[in-house]
Amino acid sequence: MHVSTDYVFDGTLPVGQEYSVEHPISPLSVYGASKAAGESAATAWRKHYLLRTSWVVGEGKNFVATMASLAERGVDPVVVADQWGRPTFTQDLAGAALHLLFTGAPYGTYHVSNSGEVITWADLARAVYTGTGHDAARVSDTTTAEYFANAQVFAPRPANSALDLSKLIAAGFTPRDHRDALAEYLKVL
């Protein structure tokens, strides 16, 4: 089993479309290219599970924990609103992996994220603010270009990271809606 990332895609699919497991990879960054190389090595084995995921949220440092901390400290963040996808909570990623392993699901590539509507990072930030009892209007939108305008170096990210979950669902595992997963996560954060 190999875990990869949405960074193997260039993100140029129009918003509203999702990357299928058959979609050709086309990484934008060195990181994405290294993940693509890992995929190539993993898929050289006949019996493999390749799990592509996006926007991972679990223990430790992550976007949701950072936004919750900013909300508690009274910070009004400026967050990109032109990158689309769905978060993947590690509980659901682990659940999908165990399901595939223990049910004898067909080997191959699966996309794993939480289900629900495709959102932006700014939408997710607002959901965190609301979920922690803070005013979501404190979150301001920006574009990726504006956010990184003064950056010396940054790794390009796919504008659209929405992953098609149909193969995973057909194998018998439906991840929780990201809104439900977020609510549970915030209870224990």
At 56-115, the pLDDT tens digits run 999 999 999 999 999 999 999 999 999 999 999 999 999 999 999 999 999 999 999 999
For position 41, what pLDDT does the model report? 98
Active site residue 31: yes
CATH fold for domain 2-187: Rossmann fold (3.40.50)
Residue 151 has pLDDT above 90, yes or no: no
Domain ranges of the chain: 2-187
For position 155, what pLDDT does the model report? 80
Separation of alpha carbons 81 and 88, rounded Å: 18
Residue 74's SS3 state is: coil
Tell me if the pTM is above 0.85: yes
For position 152, what pLDDT does the model report? 84
Separation of alpha carbons 42 and 28, rounded Å: 20
Catalytic option among 19, 31, 110, 147: 31
Q: Return all residues near 115 (Cβ < 8 A) that are at least 6 apart.
A: 86, 165, 174, 175, 176, 177, 178
